[in-house]
A = this chain, B = another copy of it.
Amino acid sequence: MSAHIDMTSVLDQLRQALGERVDTTDAALDAARADKSGHAASGRPLAVVHAASISDVQATLRIAHASGTPVVTRGAGTGLAGGANAGTGEIALSVRAMDGILEVRSDDLLAVVEPGIVNADLNAALFEHGLWWAPDPASREISTVGGNIATGAGGLLCAKYGVVRDAVLALDVVLADGRLVHLGHRSVKGVTGYDLTALMIGSEGTLGVVVGATLKLRRLIPGEVCTLNATFADVRAAAVAAAAVTASGIQPAIMELMDATSLANVHTYLELPAPPPGAAQLTVQTDGPSAHTEAESISAVLQHSGGTVRVAATPEEGEELLRIRRSMHPATEKLGMSLVEDVSVPRSALPDMFDEIARIENQYGLVIPTIAHAGDGNLHPNFTFRGDEVPDVIWDAASDLFRSALRLGGTLTGEHGIGVLKRQWLADELGDDQWHLQQQIKAVFDPTGILNPGKVFAR
C-alpha cells in the first residue's frame, strides 16, 4: 500500500477511465456509507463507481491496486452487518447496474447471471422457465444475487432447499489487482483443485469482486402449498414443538417461530386483536405433492405438543398467516433502531437457546423480540434502542447471547455475515489458529489489503 494516497489523483484516474460512472454526488456518497443494519461508516467514501461491465470492475481495481485505495463492493445495500458500508478514503464499487441474466438452461438446471440482479427479479424470470433459485433471504425483494453470494445468505426455505453455498456452481471473480478468474464448473460434479467457489461464498468482499455467477437451479415445486399456524402458551413450548416436528421426520418447507414480544408487536402494527399474553406462534408451510398430508401430520405433532392449530383452507388464507411473520421487520422498525442478531444452533438446542435469551433479557434488563427459522435453528434476536449508537448494555447482552449459542454448539452468524458488527467475536468462534489462517488466505487474494479493509477480521 502506498504510504500516502493522493485522493485527487485517484479520483482523476477513475474519472478518466470510467467517466460518468464515477459518482460523487452527496446522495450517492451518503447512501454508500450505510446498509440496512442501521450502522454507517463514520465518513463518506471518495466516490461511488457504478460499474456496468466486467471491464469497469477491472479498471476500478487496477486503479485502486496501483494507488493502494480501499475498495468496498456493494450491491443493493441491504446487508445487516455493515459489510458493504464505505467510509473515508474508500471507493464504493457498486455492481448493482450489472443486473443481466446471461443464460438460462432448463436442461442443465443452471443460469448464468450478473451479480447486481435482484433475487426476486431473477426468480420472476426463472418462473417463466418453470425454474427457481432456492435461496430466499427475507430481503429477496430488494437484495441482489451478488450480495446473497457475498454474505452466504440463507432464508426461510433453507432446511428443505439449502443455502447459497448449495446453489452456486461457478463464479467469475475480479481479483484485487484487476485480473479476472473463473472458479468452479458448469457440471453437477467437479473436484478439479480446491473449491474456491465455496471459499468465495460468504467472503463479504474481502477476497475479490464477484462479476458473474453460474447458479444451480431447481424445477418449480408442483402443487399448492399448505400453511398452518400454532399458538403456544410460551416460547419454550413453541420451540419444543418445532423440535418435535423436525424429529418426526416430516420436512416442512417453512417453519418460523415468533416469540411473545414479536407476536404482540406485529399484532399492534397490523391493528389485529392482541394475542394471549405470553403466547408464541409457529407458522409452518408444506409444499409438493404431499403438502396436505404432511400438513395434517405436522398439525397432529403440534397439537400433541400443546399447540392450538389453525390450518389455512386456501393458499390465500395461508398468505394471511405468513403475513404476520413477514411483518416482523417493519413492526420492529417502529420501535426504533435495532441490532439484529443472527445466531444459529443445532435444531435440538432451540428450546435451550430461548431459555438463554430469557436469562439475558432478565440479566440485562432488556426486552429482546426474537424470531427464529425454527426448521434450521437460526434465530434473530432483535435488540432495539433509541438514538444512533448501540448502547454498551446491548453490546454486552449480544456478547452473552453469542457465547450462549457457541456453548450450545451453535455459531455467531447463520446468514447475515460478520461485516463490522460481529467482527469483535470472530476469533472467539474460530479460535486464534483458524483466525490467523483465514487472514493469511485473505492476504493471498489481496496482498496489499485493499479489499474491504476493516471488515470481518479487524477486532
Chain A interfacial positions (CB closer than 8 Å to B): 105-110, 130, 151-152, 154, 158-159, 162-163, 165-166, 175, 179, 181-183, 185-196, 198-199, 201-203, 207, 219, 243, 246-247, 249, 289-290, 344-348, 373, 376-378, 409-418, 426, 429-431, 433-435, 437-438, 440-441, 444-445, 456
Contact = CB atoms under 8 A, between A and B. Distances in A.
Contacts of A158: 188-189
Given A187-B414, A199-B194, A348 B151 contact: no
**Copies of this protein, total:** 2
Main secondary structure of the interface of A (DSSP, over half): loop
Contacts of A106: 247
Contact of A429 (B107, B181, B192): B192
Given A187-B376, A190-B411, A165 B195 contact: yes
Contact of A411 (B187, B246, B411, B445): B187
A377 B194 contact: no
A172 to B, nearest CB: 11
Contact of A188 (B151, B243, B378): B378
Which 8 A-B pairs rank lowest in CB-CB distance, beginning with the nearest?
A: A198-B198, A189-B414, A188-B376, A152-B191, A187-B344, A190-B411, A107-B348, A191-B202
Given A188-B377, A193-B438, A348 B456 contact: no
Nearest to A175: B433
A194 B441 contact: yes
A438 B196 contact: yes
Contact of A183 (B196, B246, B434): B434
A381 to B, nearest CB: 15
Given A166-B166, A414-B187, A108 B194 contact: no
Contacts of A456: 193
Given A165-B195, A185-B409, A187-B411, 20 more contacts: A105-B346, A158-B189, A159-B188, A163-B188, A175-B433, A185-B410, A187-B346, A188-B414, A189-B344, A191-B202, A192-B426, A192-B430, A193-B429, A193-B438, A194-B202, A194-B203, A194-B207, A196-B438, A289-B290, A444-B444
